[in-house]
Structure formats: C-alpha cells, structure tokens
Amino acid sequence: DAMVIQNPRYQVTQFGKPVTLSCSQTLNHNVMYWYQQKSSQAPKLLFHYYDKDFNNEADTPDNFQSRRPNTSFCFLDIRSPGLGDAAMYLCATSREGRGDTQYFGPGTRLTVL
C-alpha cells in the first residue's frame, strides 16, 4: 500500500515557468517535509510543516514555497525555476515532531530546460 505518494514522478519545465510538485500521504502523520537532492549529493531539507505550522530552513531560496491545505496533501511551488533547480525533490512524513521516524515518497525528478 502506498503511504507517501508523489506526483508526477518526472516533471519537465522551462526556465522561469512556475511548477508545482505534489505530495500526499495516507499515514495521517502530522509532519510533512520537502527535501531537494541534487545528483550525487545528500538530501537537503527545504522546509517542513508541523500540522499547519510552516518551518522554513534558513538557506532555502525565496523561489521555493510550500502549501499544506490539509493533513494529507502538501505542495512545493517553484516560482521561477532556474537550471540550478533541476534535482530530485523528496517528500517525507513523520508522525510527531522532528525526532520521529521519517518515511519518504518515491520523489519527483525535475528537469529544467
């Protein structure tokens, strides 16, 4: 059974054209995370939601925004993608708090042309 679902799995966008990535979960977890992973690098946390409370990492570019309309869904909006934003974007959830086990979705691989 799918627990953390990401759509689409592959996304191609043009330089500067806004794009939205989607994540949904069936675990009813309170916390949802977005990570960026570039080739041959470790995942880097962009931000997370604890319920409706948004927490942005200090070094996350303003170009990246997120929305969580309800417990199940979380979106990553890239307002003006640059070539450097091409990466794998990973969504994760945890039941409670940042110290809890994280469960990852399959990721969305973003290509910027």
What is the arrangement of strands in the sheet containing 19-25, beginning at the earlier edge strand?
A: 4-7, 19-25, 73-78, 64-67
CB 59 within 8 A of CB 52: no
Under 8 Å between Cβ of 6 and 21: yes
Query: Contact at 8 Å (CB) between 46 and 57?
Result: yes
For the segment 16-55, give every residue that binds other proteins (CB under 8 A).
Answer: 33, 37, 41-45, 55
Q: Does 5 bind other proteins (CB under 8 A)?
A: no
Q: How far is the CB of 75 from other proteins (least distance, A)?
A: 20
Single out the segment in contact with other proteins by CB under 8 A; choices: 18-26, 68-76, 78-86, 97-105: 97-105
Question: Applying CB under 8 A, which residues contact other proteins?
Answer: 33, 37, 41-45, 55, 57, 88, 90, 92, 97-104, 106-107, 109
